[in-house]
Structure 1
Amino acid sequence: MCGCFLVYRQTPLTAEECTRERRNFHCVSNILQGANASALEKEIGPEQFPVNEHYFGLVNFGNTCYCNSVLQALYFCRPFREKVLAYKVQPRKKESLLTCLSDLFNSIATQKKKVGVIPPKKFISRLRKENELFDNYMQQDAHEFLNYLLNTIADLLQEEKKQEKQNGKLQNGSIESEEGDKTDLTWVHEIFQGTLTNETRCLNCEAVSSKDEDFLDLSVDVEQNTSITHCLRGFSNTETLCSEYKYYCEQCRSKQEAQKRMRVKKLPMILALHLKRFKYMDQLHRYTKLSYRVVFPLELRLFNTSGDATNPDRMYDLVAVVVHCGSGPNRGHYITIVKSHGFWLLFDDDIVEAVFLNKLKCRKSVQKIWETVVRS
């Protein structure tokens, strides 16, 4: 993706450790599981419970909380959910991550009960078959899984479009080359893709050059006692290129001091923001978790946009937070907090709970997903 996500060597998490992580990080009472699931409906109230909405936990198949947490966040991103539910799985279509995800989402959406638990066994089995990184019972990185899932779905959709074009050309008797065809954008790109522009200004002649780069999520550094706004400001800070790092200016035809900065040129429909909490420490020769307090707003406007950005004043509303609970990158537990129809809910594998806004401050977030708020 932008080379910002990290891959870690993982060690298995025991059942006892997983249970302890859950106990340490639960902020809300009234745990709802199995036959007691109707308690959530009572807590929300029958008159306020959303029509045609379902809140189902996912069974953990051996440290698959990283997967469950991301799937719950994506399920409550309505544009993504609607596209997955509308995906037509043909009877003879080869099984893929997308067909398995469609089956899982449809299974949740068509349940007669409002609250319960579903085993994503088919999806997990497909995931382990397709990528050996996930073919084990070790804890994995949720952000890395999100990147893999979105890119895999996009590749599958692009391949389907390519096959449809080829079939159409064969039927029409056309044998034109497709070498000049541009890569088709999929609904994954329509939902998550934005564009960054890397601007470099020569301090000698003032000439500005820019290079665009697409992204499906933004990864930002975190500091102690900071906020999302501060993290984003650091992401787009102006950097001076000097000494041995001077910039070769095409106008001056020589290396010159320059200033470089990153701006958002095209804002995505859904903004996925990854906080880089795992940092490699040279003195320790390993990665460690930065458990800093990061304040995040329920509404967000990106200020670090380029001058030619489309709809630069777009507002985003927080709809999901994927949380890593634990002291280090090699172990821990993932949960998800989502916003649905004005309610905040906690999904912890097969557990579903109501969450109160004043409890969110005790969560240290790994990833936040903002959904566009349409303002008239």
Structure 2
Amino acid sequence: MTHQGCKHLREFKSTDGTGSYRILVSYFVACSSTEARKRKAKSCICHSCRVISARLHSCLSCVYFGCYGGNDHIKQHATTKRHNFAVDLSHGAVFCFLCKDYIYDAEFDEILAMSRKASKQSIGLDKTCQPWEPSCIEKELMQLHPKRRKVTEYSTIGLRGLINLGNTCFMNCIVQALTHTPLLRDFFLADKHNCLMLNESQRCLVCEMSRLFQEFYSGVRTPHTPYRLLHLVWTHARHLAGYEQQDAHEFLIAALDVLHRHCKGNNGLSKSNPHHCNCIIDQIFTGGLQSDVTCQKCNNVSTTIDPFWDISLDLGPPPNSLLLNPALYGAFEQPTSLMSCLKRFTRPEHLGSSAKIKCSKCHSYQESTKQLTMKKLPVVACFHLKRFEHSTGYHKKISTYVEFPEELDMTAFMSSSRSNNNGYSNQVVHLTANGLTSQHKYSLYAVVNHRGTADTGHYTCFIRQHKNQWFKCEDHLITKVDLKDVLRSEGYLLFYHKQILEYE
């Protein structure tokens, strides 16, 4: 797609204006009224072959709908009638048959944004969401999506490669993971983002992510070129600007942060919890990490709870401070599985004499122990295996194979399951009366891998399309793989989705 404007379209607008585009967008793209939606359902078929097409285009000069691709009747119409412009009715993009490409026009883009806003207001999508409540977020999300999208077996919808724009594989693999996150997909495909930057929507990363989801689930199989997304990343996260290879984990956190900031102005803060945002990013990715610091003199426990988007797990030697009873816990053994990483992450840590903390009870500086546990689990749990070590003049990658499961139970690492004896319990997960599994159970749905060294390498991603359908995404290449290939991979970022909110 050209982003520089089109002289042919400028000439067209000077003589024919923008009226035809406004009508098409209002009645057949944004559908700003109930009547418009009914009209679209009845009228959106190719006038030549009478087939309903996912890529139906409308002539901008006359009343003609034609299929794009396949028989390509819209192109035949343009050649015969010399009508050089067509509008893609799935997302409002304009195709110029003289430039032979989709073209960008600021005036048309503003018309499209205004029409979409009017459409959301007409069906009530611009209403303020209910305040975010950590205890009932899963229930609220399920109520928002009572008819959840079902990706049928052998379906290829949503599978689309991404062109590498020069060492941008780190971005491509994160985009693949995000576009296959079910609740995030529902949010963007429902066009629920009400942008507050109407005259500058090109600067809004959430608007671009919405466009990206529409591209992924449009049914088009040709690789997509995410140049607009890359430009916005450079604009809003300048430390990632340039064509050098970047860290995929760093990009994930930067992307979530920018999306959160752009959504925050739209959704605001929870009335019941003014320190927590109720935007879609926080609803899906934010969990609560509890830190308990215990005074060794009086056993007083000081507790703090901090939000997190991901959990970073060490693979190398433990910190200089010793764990309690290292002989019992095998503290110096290198973890070989995700479970052993999590057990190590949640074990009590002796802070030592060099890190004494003033106890709020005995009012003196004492040695203490610190233990981390999960106070609240997010809908999507992302685990970052710290494979890269960086120190002055020294870079190292830890390529040790770390086993990770298809299904994960986090019950043992919850604050409610904490044991004073060993830092974690062996609590058995029970089935509820209606047959649902524990609310702390997760299923793997995406894995980001890195091959190479700490200084150079290449990122790839595995994504789950259906419960038993896995695919490998390597930039523009999408290939089907077996689950065993996923579980045998090195693993750098692991994405798990709560089973209680899983889509069939």
TM-score for both structures, normalised by structure 2: 0.57
User: 2:198 matched to 1:108?
Assistant: no
Higher relative contact order, structure no. (Cα contacts within 8 Å, ≥ 6 residues apart): 1
Counterpart of 1:244, as a letter, is: S
For 1:335-354, what aligned pairs fall within 5 Å after superposition?
335-341=460-466, 342-354=468-480
Q: How far is the alpha carbon of 1:181 from its aligned partner?
A: 5.6
2:112 matched to which residue of 1? none
Partner of 1:332: 457
2:164 matched residue in structure 1: 60
C-alpha displacement of 1:67:
0.4
Contact 2:403-2:488 within 8 A present in 1 as well: no
Matched, 1:245 2:355: yes
Partner of 2:286: 193
**Which amino acid is 1:70 matched to?**
I
Report the CA distance between 1:362 and its aligned residue.
4.4
How far the C-alpha of 1:94 sits from its partner, in A, is 2.5
Report the AA paired with residue 174 of structure 2: V
Paired with 1:183 and 1:231, the residues of 2 have a C-alpha distance of: 28
Once the two structures are TM-superposed, the CA of residue 134 in structure 1 deviates from its matched residue by 2.8
Question: Alignment partner of 2:183: what SS?
Answer: helix
Match of 1:374 in 2: 500
Q: 1:70 aligns with which of 174, 178, 186?
A: 174
Tell me which residue corresponds to 1:117. Answer: 223
Q: 8 Å contact 2:267–2:278 — kept in the other structure?
A: no
Residues 1:87 and 2:181 are matched in the alignment: no
Greater mean deviation of Cα atoms: 317-326 or 88-97: 88-97
Would you say 1:259 and 2:369 are equivalent positions? yes
CA contact (8 A) 2:292 2:302 kept: yes
The one-letter amino acid paired with 1:87 is: K
Amino acid at match of 1:351: L
TM-aligned CA deviation for residue 251 of structure 1: 1.0
| Residues 1:207 and 1:182: Cα distance change in structure 2 (over 3 Å) | closer
Q: 1:307 aligns with which of 406, 411, 416?
A: 416
**Do the aligned partners of 1:59 and 1:349 also contact (CA within 8 Å) in 2?**
yes
For residue 274 of structure 1, what is the aligned residue in structure 2? Answer: 384
Q: CA deviation at 1:307?
A: 1.9
Q: CA offsets, 1:269-306, max 9 Å, x none?
A: 00011010001356xx3221011110000011122110
Q: Distance in 2 between matches of 1:118 and 1:61?
A: 11
Following superposition, the deviation at residue 154 of structure 1 comes to 0.7
CA RMSD of the aligned region, Å?
A: 2.7
Deviations 1:245-283 (A, max 9, x none): 22311111112232210111001000011010001356x
Could you say which residue in structure 1 is the equivalent of 2:341?
A: 231
Deviation at 1:356, TM superposition (A): 1.2
Shift in Å at residue 207 of structure 1? 1.5
Provide the C-alpha distance between the structure 1 equivalents of 2:501 and 2:277, rounded to a whole number of angstroms: 30
Letter in 2 for 1:78: P
Mark the CA change 1:327 to 1:244 in structure 2 (over 3 Å): closer, same or farther.
Answer: closer
Alpha carbons of 1:93 and 1:161: their partners in 2 closer, same or farther (altered >3 Å)?
A: farther
Counterpart Cα distance in 1 of 2:170 and 2:465: 21
SS in 2 for 1:140: coil
- The count of residues paired between Structure 1 and Structure 2 equals 309
Tell me the secondary structure at the aligned position of residue 347 of structure 2. Answer: coil
Match of residue 484, structure 2, among 354, 358, 367:
358
TM-score by length of 1: 0.76
1 or 2, which has the higher strand percentage? Answer: 1
Post-superposition offset of 1:127:
1.8
CA pair 248-181 structure 1, distance change in 2 beyond 3 A: closer
How has the CA–CA distance of structure 1 residues 313 and 185 changed in structure 2, closer, same or farther, with 3 Å as cutoff?
A: closer
Could you say which residue in structure 1 is the equivalent of 2:448? Answer: 322
Shift of residue 130 of structure 1?
2.8
Paired with 2:405 and 2:170, the residues of 1 have a C-alpha distance of 24
DSSP-derived class of the 1:353 partner? strand
- Structure 1: state its 5+ residue gaps: 1-46, 166-177
Alignment-derived partner of residue 134 in structure 1 = 240
Partners of 2:475 and 2:234 in 1: how far apart?
A: 18
* 8 Å CA contact retained: 2:446, 2:494: yes
CA contact (8 A) 2:312 2:385 kept: yes
Partner of 1:168: none
One-letter code of the match for 1:69?
C
Identical aligned residues as a percent:
28
Matched letter for residue 288 of structure 1: K
Find the aligned partners of 1:365 and 1:105 in 2 and give their Cα distance: 25
Quote how far apart the aligned CAs of 1:145 are: 0.6
Structure 2 CA distance, aligned partners of 1:148 and 1:140? 12
Report if aligned partners of 1:225, 1:292 keep a CA contact under 8 Å in 2.
no
Residue 137 and residue 375 in structure 1: after superposition, are their counterparts in 2 closer, same or farther (change >3 A)?
Answer: closer
Amino acid at match of 2:250: E
Contact 1:72/1:336, CA 8 A, preserved across alignment: yes
**Match of 2:398, as an amino acid?**
L
What secondary structure is seen at the aligned counterpart in 2 of 1:119?
coil
- Point out the more displaced range, 71-80 or 246-255: 246-255
State the secondary structure of the residue aligned to 1:307: helix
- AA partner of residue 395 (structure 2): Y
Unmatched 5+ stretches in structure 2:
1-151, 317-333, 419-436
Q: In the aligned structure 2, how far is the partner of 1:103 from the partner of 1:84? A: 8
